[in-house]
Amino acid sequence: MTVRAPTLIAAVVLAAFALAAGLWFDQSRPAATSVESSPVTPLLGITLPDPDGKDQAIAQWKGKILVVNFWATWCAPCREEMPMFMRLQEAQRGKGVQFVGIAVDNADKVRQYASDLKLNYPTLIGGFGAMELSKSLGISVMALPFTVIVDRSGKVAHTQLGPLKEDQLLSILRQLA
């Protein structure tokens, strides 16, 4: 079966519109949840390629507080919160905090964007399959950004659909330290 370029472009545009619409319609629902006693997250069993194609297991950061952010280069709210994540990655690195991005995007775009931004934390390529992964982590609407904070024991401590505020994130990190 051959997929023609206009059909593929239309499908990508439709998917992007659906993601944006999902986030817009979800504004009436609580965006953040804190999970008191969730089981060990399936994130620790995931291996995804980095922008250079090298497989990276998320379990390599087990024992740290993980801030895992699902994002895309075409997502304006995602791009807006990334500089804050970079500042906090630098400030919190010595406290056992690790930020990890999972891009719902292609490797070339992610590699270029990460280079332009001078991204200081790892980002992995999840493609549109990452949205399925985010559903297993509690997202009810396929939208970005979506952030999962995992405690040192591997349990989900917080999920957030939509951008995180710096003071909110710092408060969560202090509670988990």
Least confident of 18-22, 73-77, 140-144, 166-170: 18-22
The model's confidence at residue 39, banded by pLDDT at 50, 70 and 90, is low
pLDDT per residue as tens digits for the range 107-129: 999 999 999 999 999 999 998 88
* Neighbour-count burial for 93-123, b at 16+ CB within 10 Å, e otherwise: eeeebbbbbbbbbebeebbebbeeeebebbb
21 or 90, higher pLDDT: 90
Q: What's the rounded Cα separation, in Å, for the pair 147 and 161? A: 7
Averaged pLDDT score across all residues of the chain:
82
Task: Check whether 146 has a pLDDT greater than 50.
Answer: yes
Tally of domains within the chain? 1
pLDDT for 54 equals: 97
pTM as predicted: 0.78
Termini Cα distance of the chain: 52
Q: What's the rounded Cα separation, in Å, for the pair 116 and 129? A: 25
Mapping DSSP to helix (H, G, I), strand (E, B) and coil, where does residue 28 land?
helix
Mapping DSSP to helix (H, G, I), strand (E, B) and coil, where does residue 168 land?
helix
pLDDT for 38 equals: 52
Task: Check whether 133 has a pLDDT greater than 60.
Answer: yes
pLDDT per residue as tens digits for the range 71-105: 999 999 999 999 999 999 999 999 999 999 999 99
The first and second tokens of residue 164, run together, are 């995180």
Contact 108, 68 (CB under 8 A): no
* 40, amino acid identity: V
Element (H, E) at 120: none
Contact 68, 58 (CB under 8 A): yes
* 100, amino acid identity: V
Q: What's the rounded Cα separation, in Å, for the pair 105 and 121? A: 17
Find the CATH number of the domain harbouring 81.
3.40.30.10
State which residues form the domain around 46: 5-176
Residues 50-64: what's their mean pLDDT? 96
Q: Which of 33, 20, 47, 29 is nearest to 133 (CA)?
A: 47
